Amino acid sequence: MKTLFVCALVFAFGLPAAPGQQSVVDFARRDTSVHDPSTIVKCNGEYWLFATGRGIMSRHSKDLRQWSAGPVVFSNVPAWTTNTIKANHGHFWAPDVFYLTNRYLLYYAVSSWGKRDSAIGLATNPTLDPADPAYQWTDCGPVIRTTEQDDCNAIDPAVIQCPDGQLWLAFGSYWTGIKLIQLNPLTGLRAATNSPVFSLAWHESIEASYVHWHDGYYYLFVNWGQCCRGIRSTYTIKIGRSREVVGPYLDKDGVDMLHDGGSLFLKTAGAFVGPGHAGIVSAGDKDWLSCHFYNGASNGIPTLGILPLRWNPDGWPEAELPPN
């Protein structure tokens, strides 16, 4: 489930400060506005992310520390969204962005609170730089749609490309859990209207999936618990891995994530409350975990976290928590 737009801060922990600049703790006081951040991508020397908001909000940064507001994706929302999902009025959730060949693919959820009457849409753009003459978002319509008659929920899209070039989309929230469908890499849309829907993970409160390929494994990150309650949020991030993108995803104890498995990856620690919506970005020679959390030092304001990420000798990722 996702929340309405709220103001947020950015917290970039562990990123080295450039000469003459303030510490990363000082950068945590610079306002941005973000909830449900997408994975972070780079375009023309700048990092970009997208987030929940009316028309889909964007933010950009040259150093992953200082973030500025970018343009919304849709100044006029696509007609199909409000025509198809009557309860939605242009406030889109939890986008994800991916660069493929010559364009950026942006997936986003169209839904309303607590409903399976949902759809995942796609928009494309040859560039994320609004100063580029080629900049223009093209609406490609819905990728997948669910109704109250379905046993899953088409929200929280997360795109993954396999080493062989196959393109897949993970999604899902509550009900029967996290699902996966194959995409057509030429269009970015579903491979076929009746293509298989694979089940990846289940828990009574699960959403915000993210799949990442690393060194022979696909790693599935999911959220358990409740978001959007400020310091009362109970989100934790759980993880499992698989040799195949379609699963099975097993946790560190060998329990299938389809059977309530999932090893704890990240949880509340002091003012770092309810982390969720994981993504991984490489910068320099390091990997970093992006997520949001609810800032216990600022009345639970949703905050962008960028944490150092390392891979332990057993191949599992570990994020370094910020100081309290």
Residues of the chain with pLDDT under 70: 1-33, 322-324
**Starting at the edge strand that comes first in sequence, how are the strands of the sheet with 46-51 ordered?**
41-43, 46-51, 57-61, 68-69
Which pLDDT score is estimated for 99?
A: 97
pLDDT at 13: 59
Return the CATH architecture of domain 8-284+292-305: 5 Propeller (2.115)
pLDDT tens digits along 69-124 = 999 999 999 999 999 999 999 999 999 999 999 999 999 999 998 899 999 999 99
Provide the residue ranges of all domains of the chain, joining segments of one domain with +. Answer: 8-284+292-305
pLDDT in tens, 53-76: 999 999 999 999 889 999 999 999
The span from the first CA to the last CA of the chain, in angstroms, equals 27
pLDDT of residue 144: 98
For every residue of 164-230, DSSP letters joined together read TS-EEEEE--STT-EEEEEE-TTTSSBS-TT---EEEE--SSEEEEEEEEETTEEEEEEEES--SSG
**Catalytic residue numbers, as ranges:** 36, 207
pTM metric for this prediction: 0.92
pLDDT of residue 321: 78
